[in-house]
Structure 1
């Protein structure tokens, strides 16, 4: 539970994600959206080329991965490095900020993975109750 002291400190931050016009909302969406979180989590393992990353983040389309990488690069989470080779080689890796964000996301990802038995049980119970209505 948040203490009064913690709430006061949060209120003094220059950004408030709960405010409609706050730019932090867009960044939060980029980071916590399905493809953003999975891309950051994958890049935490190290640099990847585009197609390697696409294979690692199973199910993402080329278009979605490209859009995700652009958004994360714009937000300062991902660094894109193009090598002047033939064919061109482009590598993606986390920036220090991206590394910090990915580490926090991975804590959540591992927590969710570890509690999936509880989630699946809750889903079954919910579906049985809703199906009986």
Structure 2
């Protein structure tokens, strides 16, 4: 009987841990969120994700393609254009990424207030 593999992310060598390393990257989350809205080409992605360098965007797109989250399509246009879109696996991840985005935007003021309170008490203790 062939039993399905079971993974435990709390174990040091569990391959599922790699997912957390990748998805915890801010650029990865932003790329996935943008592509969940629509297919985009490289320059549009770069424009929509302020602060990302072309080198980093290229690296993250290759990583996401390798992991099966995005698909790269070369358009036979002049000049040649490359479009990126989410795969079915990427769409599943995008749902979770969107929840994180939504939570962060809704709760960042509470986080900032907590940081300020903490910093104020640290200053008083010095």
TM superposition score normalised by structure 1:
0.84
Equivalent residue for 2:72? 80
> For the Cα contact (< 8 Å) 1:79–1:92, is it kept in 2?
yes
For this pair of structures, how many residues does the alignment match?
122
Is 1:96 paired with 2:99? Answer: no
Equivalent residue for 2:11? 19
- The ranges of structure 1 where at least 4 consecutive aligned residues each deviate by more than 6 angstroms after the TM superposition are none
CA shift for structure 1 position 94: 0.5
Whole-angstrom distance in 2 between the partners of 1:79 and 1:89: 14
Whole-angstrom distance in 1 between the partners of 2:73 and 2:7: 30
Secondary structure of the residue aligned to 1:115 is: helix
Is 1:34 paired with 2:49? Answer: no
Picking from 45, 52, 60, the partner of 2:52 is 60
Equivalent residue for 1:69? 61
CA shift for structure 1 position 29: 1.8
Equivalent residue runs for 1:100-111 within 5 Å:
100-111=92-103
Point out where structure 2 has 5 or more consecutive residues left out of the alignment.
none
Whole-angstrom distance in 2 between the partners of 1:112 and 1:61: 23
RMSD: 1.5
